[in-house]
């Protein structure tokens, strides 16, 4: 059985950073991810607010971080953790995956989140047929075509700008009367002359084989209108992955995120949490900082 000082579950920006710090502390560490390293970070088309880079894609930055992390710890990709149980010996946790079983003295949960759905009629039917949750993955196919981006946060406006640069005719649809995104992104949307439809929700996605139109509902009047479109890109928030946290009886807040203290500790001894699965600001640089704090906290607790 494989034994480690720290097992990090999730290889997003926070998990990779935790691996870098943990390895440099001289402990034996493992990162496990059910997908490829990077998670949703791989989908970020470009960032202009990550320190040290004027502009860099999420995929490029993830590859740099992955290379650095694997020099400091083990990494298992495409291996899902199915169960974590507590034990009574030095290795306090048994971690079962789809491929193996491991033991660890401490656990860092960096399980991230997944895209929140619109819950609109036709959304499931047209997923992959015009409905997408990843501009980086699917934007290329919509050059020269009419599409809508649904959402009003940073990710939605970043992806709208990316789609515009690919040559798509993009319109942003948002359910509120103003965007939640940073001001500079709102200014870029205006400068790019990207049309916006505010106070509107997508009620239905229609078409034959592929998406052909959406039914929009005015949130103020209730009026329904049909808007022709070839694609619907969705960025309306994220759902935290807390299945493993629930197995360990970790406290969650009312929104379903893990509650942590300033040292990234949960209410369960020797279990820490970082990134999008936690309460707090959902930013790449924040997840990295939390990864450094959690790895340091785990190391200090191992010595005590």
Residues 176-195 have pLDDT tens digits of 999 999 999 999 999 999 99
pLDDT at res. 1: 61
What CATH number does domain 117-234 carry, 3.50.50.60, 1.20.5.50, 2.40.50.140, 3.10.150.10? 3.50.50.60
State how far the alpha carbon of 194 is from the alpha carbons of 144, 175, 179, 228, 294, in Å.
Answer: 14, 17, 14, 16, 41
Per the residue annotation, which of 137, 177, 251, 253 is the catalytic one?
A: 137
With a CB cutoff of 8 Å and minimum separation 6, the contacts of 166 are: 139, 140, 142, 143
Cα separation, 46 vs 60, in Å, equals 9
Confidence band for 304, pLDDT divided at 50, 70 and 90: confident
Residue 213 reports pLDDT greater than 80? yes
Per the residue annotation, which of 138, 276, 278, 288 is the catalytic one?
A: 138
β-sheet bridge partners, residue 109: 9, 273
Q: Where are the alpha helices (DSSP H) in 130-201?
A: 135-138, 154-165, 183-191
Question: 58 by DSSP, 3-state: which?
Answer: helix
pLDDT at res. 255: 87
pLDDT in tens, 26-58: 999 999 999 999 987 887 877 878 899 988 988
pLDDT at res. 40: 79
The CATH code for residues 2-114+238-303 is: 3.50.50.60
Cα separation, 40 vs 33, in Å, equals 12
From the CA atom positions of the chain, what is the Rg in Å? Answer: 21
Confidence band for 97, pLDDT divided at 50, 70 and 90: very high
pLDDT in tens, 240-289: 999 999 999 999 999 899 999 999 999 999 999 999 999 887 788 999 99
Per the residue annotation, which of 134, 146, 218, 301 is the catalytic one?
A: 134
Residue 237 reports pLDDT greater than 90? no
Q: Is 278 a catalytic residue?
A: no
Average pLDDT over residues 199-214: 96
Fold identical between 2-114+238-303 and 117-234?
yes
Residue 231 reports pLDDT greater than 70? yes
Q: Is 138 a catalytic residue?
A: yes
pLDDT in tens, 118-142: 999 999 999 989 999 988 888 989 9
With a CB cutoff of 8 Å and minimum separation 6, the contacts of 206 are: 122, 212, 213, 214, 215, 226
pLDDT at res. 50: 87
Average pLDDT over residues 98-102: 97
The structural domains of the chain, with segments of one domain joined by +, span 2-114+238-303, 117-234
Cα separation, 182 vs 184, in Å, equals 6
Average pLDDT over residues 224-233: 97
- This prediction has a pTM of 0.79
Question: 290 by DSSP, 3-state: which?
Answer: helix
Share of residues in the chain with pLDDT > 90 (%)? 84
Q: Is 137 a catalytic residue?
A: yes
């Amino acid at each position: 059985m494989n034994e480690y000082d720290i097992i990090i579950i999730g290889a997003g920006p926070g998990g990779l950073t935790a691996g870098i710090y943990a390895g440099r502390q001289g402990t034996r560490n493992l990162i496990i991810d059910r997908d490829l390293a990077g998670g949703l970070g791989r989908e970020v088309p470009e960032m202009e607010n990550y320190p040290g880079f004027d502009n860099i894609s999420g995929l490029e930055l993830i590859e740099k971080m992955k290379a650095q992390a694997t020099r400091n710890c083990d990494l298992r990709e495409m291996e899902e953790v199915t169960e974590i149980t507590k034990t009574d010996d030095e290795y306090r946790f048994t971690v079962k995956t789809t491929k193996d079983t491991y033991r660890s003295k401490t656990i860092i949960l960096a399980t991230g989140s997944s895209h929140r759905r619109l819950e609109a009629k036709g959304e499931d039917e047209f997923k992959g047929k015009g409905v997408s949750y990843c501009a980086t993955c699917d934007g290329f196919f919509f050059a020269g075509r009419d599409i809508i981006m649904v959402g009003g946060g940073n990710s939605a406006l970043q992806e709208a700008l990316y789609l515009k640069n690919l040559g798509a005719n993009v319109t942003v649809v948002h359910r509120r009367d103003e965007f939640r995104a940073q001001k500079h992104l709102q200014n870029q949307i205006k400068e790019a002359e990207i049309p916006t439809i505010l106070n509107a929700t997508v009620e239905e996605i229609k078409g034959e084989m592929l998406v052909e139109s959406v039914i929009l509902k005015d949130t103020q009047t209730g009026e329904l209108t049909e808007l022709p479109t070839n694609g619907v890109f969705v960025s309306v928030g994220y759902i935290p992955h807390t299945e493993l946290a629930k197995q360990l009886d970790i406290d969650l807040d009312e929104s379903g995120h893990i509650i942590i203290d300033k040292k990234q500790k949960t209410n369960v001894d020797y279990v820490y949490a970082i990134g999008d699965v936690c309460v707090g600001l959902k930013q790449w640089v924040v997840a990295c900082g939390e990864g450094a704090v959690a790895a340091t906290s785990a190391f200090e607790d191992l010595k005590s």
